[in-house]
Structure 1
C-alpha cells in the first residue's frame, strides 16, 4: 500500500469516527442542554469535515493535532453521565487527562472533571428567556442568527420579536431575505419562511414576530405574549440611561445596548467585567467591537506583566456609517467614499477601557483608520510593560491564556504565517492574537489582534445576554484562574 493509500485510509477512518460523534453531541444538546466544545469552539450542529478541521486547528495552539480517536471516548463518557445544562470542552478534557498520572479510566476521569454538572450539583433546566431585537441591521441580524442557532434545546434564549420602522411593499419579505443571505457571512444555516398575514418570520421553527414602530413608546410587548424579556437595542439611537429607559415597556425587563453606553450606563466586556453587574441592573451596554477586542488581551498583559501605558491603533473595516461615494457627512472625513479610501477617524475604545478595567491605572490612547474591506479589523496594541520580558515568554503566556484561562472564549491564538483578514470572518472570539506578528523588546510589547468586528462582537453580545438572563451555563473542566 502506498503512502497516499495510507493517508486516504486514515482520513476515511477519522471521517467515520467524526460521523459517530454527531448524534451523540446532538443528543446531549437537545435532551440535556449540554454544549460540547473543542478548545472553546462549539461542535453542535457541525459537519463531519468541520469537526475534523476543528480538531486539526488544535495544532495551531497546542503544537500538535488533536485526533478524534482521542476525543470520542470523552464524548461517549459524557452520554453516560447524569448531566445538567453546561458547556464541556473535550479538548481540555483530553489535554488534562493526558497530563494526569493517576491511571484513571477515561470514564472515571470525565466523571470527576465534570462533577459540578452532574447529579445533585447540576443546574435544573428553566423555561428560557424571551428576547426582543430593536433594530435589524448588521449586528441585529447576526445576533438573530446566533439566537436561532442556540435555541436547539428549547430551554435557553428565545427570540420572540423584532421591532423595526415600517417599510414599503413586502417589507417583511425583504428583511427575511437579508437574514437568509449575507454577502459576508454566507447563507443562514437552516430554513426561513414568511407568514405575511401574521407578520411573522419562521426560522428553524422559531416564530419571530415583526413589530412595526417608530418609537419604543408605541409597543406593548405583552400584547404579543412576551414577558420578562431582554431587549437588545441595535440602533445606537439612544445611548444614555434616560433614552434607553424608554424601552422598559410592559413585557421588557432589561435593555442591552450594542454600542458604547454614555453616562452611568455600565459598559460590559464579557470575560472581563460581566461579574460586576448587579442583578437589579436593567440597562447596560456591550461597549464597542474594538473595546471587546482590546480589553481582554490588555487585562491578560496587565495581570502578568503590568502595564505602564499603551496606545491602540485600529485598522478597521468600513461600516454603514460611512458613504459608498463622496457625499455630505456630519463627521469630517467619513463622507469620503468608504470602498475607495483609507479614512482616518476617531475611536472611543481607548477611553472605554477605563470603564471595563477600572483598576488599570495605565493611560491608554487610541486612533483608527477605516480601510476598504467590508469586515474584520485589526488592533495594534503597543504597550510599555512594568518589567522586561521576551517574545517567547509572551507567546507562551498568551497561548496558555487562549487555552486554559477564564479568557479562553474571548482570546484566540493563531500561528499561521500567511493569515490575512478574510481568514477571520466568522470568528467567535473577541480577539485573535497573531503570533507571527508579535514584537517584544525589553519592556515594550506590540500585539497584533485580529477581530471580526461584526460576528465576534455579536458573540460577545450573546454571552452578556446569557449572563444577565441566567442561562449562562458553567464550563468544564473549569478554566485555570
Structure 2
C-alpha cells in the first residue's frame, strides 16, 4: 500500500510513527508528507513527542526529504495538494482537519491519487466508515471519512451490546483528554466552557459522536444520547455507557456474554485488570472494555466502561481502513 500523508499534526505524525515502528505495517510505503510548517519544526516534533516519548532514531531533513530509520520520505509544504503529483498513490491520508468541503477533500484525487481517507468527520465524504460497526458500507467510495476517535470507540461497542441484549436506549459520556481545540489559558472560543484553560479544569461539553452514531448505526438512530467531559490529561480517554436493554439479562451471565461478543470484534479489547488511563497509552484497539467496571442494575439496565487512546487507536484505524480501501481494488 502506497500512501501520502497530508497534514503532519497529531494524527499524521502518529500514523507515520506506527508505520516506522510496528512490523505489521512493513508493507506500507509513504510516498510523501505534506505540511505547511517548516521542515526543521516537523522533524523536531516528530522525533520528540510529549505524549508517546522520543523516537528511538534520529530524524533529519535535507534536500526536501524527511530522513528517519533508513527511510527518505519526500517532504512538501504546499497549501494546495493539487500542486503535487500523486499518481501511484493508493490513498491520501487527509489529516489537515480542514477537508470539510468537496473542493478540499477531493484535492488528492485531482492530484492523481486513487482515494482519500479523512481523519475526522466531514460532510464532503461519500461514506463515513467505522471498523467493527459499519465497514460493510465502504463500497466503491473514493472519499471516505474515518469518523472521530470517540465514534470509533462507541459505535463498535454499541454494535456488540445490541447483539448481546438489544439496546432500547443508552446514554454515553466520554471522559476525554484535552486537545488543541481548547486553550491552555482562558481565551475566547465558540463555546464558553471550552474557552477555559483545558489543563486546569474539567470541562463539560458536547461530542460530534452522537450525530455520527445515528449515521453509522441507523438501526439505533434516535435511541442513543451522549455528552463529553474534557479532563486535564494529555492522552487516553474513556467511554462510560449506561444502556437499557430490550431483554432481561442475568447479572452473573452478562459479563461473559459481553466478553464473548467483544472477543469476536476486530477492534475491541478487554481487560480484567484495575487499570488507569496511562496504562492504555499506545493501545491500538478502538476501545478496551474494563471488565471490573461492568454493572447490571435490575434486569435490563447495564453500565459498560472502556478506555481508548484517542490518538494511537484512531491512527491505527486510519491505516486499517486505508488497507481495506486498497484491498477492494486488488485484482
- Normalised by the shorter chain, which TM-score bucket? over 0.9
CA gap of 1:152–1:266, structure 2 versus 1, over 3 A, is: closer
Q: 1:342 matched to which residue of 2? A: 202
Measure the CA separation in 1 of the matches of 2:79 and 2:177. Answer: 30
Q: Can you give the 5+ residue segments of structure 2 that lack an aligned partner in the other structure?
A: none
Q: 1:362: Cα distance to partner?
A: 5.5
Alignment partner, residue 175 of structure 1: 42
TM-score relative to the length of structure 1: 0.65
Q: Deviations over 1:251-281 (max 9, x none)?
A: 31111011112266311111222222113x1
Matched, 1:301 2:161: yes
Secondary structure at the counterpart of residue 391 of structure 1: coil
Residue 364 of structure 1, CA deviation? 0.7
* Equivalence for 1:452: 309
Q: Distance in 2 between matches of 1:204 and 1:392?
A: 50
Looking at structure 2, the residues matched to 430 and 157 of structure 1 have their Cα atoms a distance apart, in angstroms, of 21
Q: Which residue of 2 aligns with 1:194?
A: 60
Distance 1:390 1:294, change over 3 A: same
2:282 to 405, 419, 426: 426
Which residue number corresponds to residue 443 of structure 1? Answer: 300
**How many residue pairs end up in the alignment?**
329
User: Which segments of structure 1 move beyond 6 Å, counting only runs of 4 or more?
Assistant: none
Distance 1:414 1:152 in 2: 23
Aligned with 2:51 (options 184, 197, 200): 184
Deviation at 1:228, TM superposition (A): 3.4
Measured in 2, the distance between the counterparts of 1:240 and 1:391 equals 48
Which residue pairs with 1:159 in the alignment? 30
Is the contact made by 2:203 and 2:229 (CA closer than 8 Å) also made in structure 1?
yes
The separation in 1 between residues aligned to 2:329 and 2:159, in whole angstroms, is 22
Given candidates 262, 266, 275, the residue that maps to 2:123 is 262
Q: Is the 8 A contact 1:157 1:471 kept in 2?
A: no
Asked whether the equivalents of residues 286 and 313 of structure 2 are also in contact (C-alpha less than 8 Å), the reply is: yes
Residue equivalent to 1:38: none
Structure 1 residue aligned with 2:256: 396
> 2:92, 2:30 → 1: CA distance?
10
**How far is 1:215 from its partner?**
2.1
Aligned-pair distance for 1:152?
7.4
Normalised to the residue count of structure 2, the TM-score between the two structures is: 0.93
C-alpha separation between the residues in 1 aligned to 2:201 and 2:25? 46
Equivalent pair of 1:310/1:362 in contact (CA under 8 Å): no
Higher RCO (C-alpha under 8 Å, 6+ residues apart): 2
For the Cα contact (< 8 Å) 1:192–1:201, is it kept in 2? no
Find the counterpart in structure 1 of residue 114 from structure 2: 253
1:141-181 deviations in Å (ceiling 9; x for gaps):
00111222357785x2211111111x4xxx32331122122
Q: Assess, with a 3 A threshold, how the Cα gap between structure 1 residues 242 and 193 changes in structure 2: closer, same or farther.
A: closer
Any unmatched runs of 5+ in structure 1?
1-128, 474-481
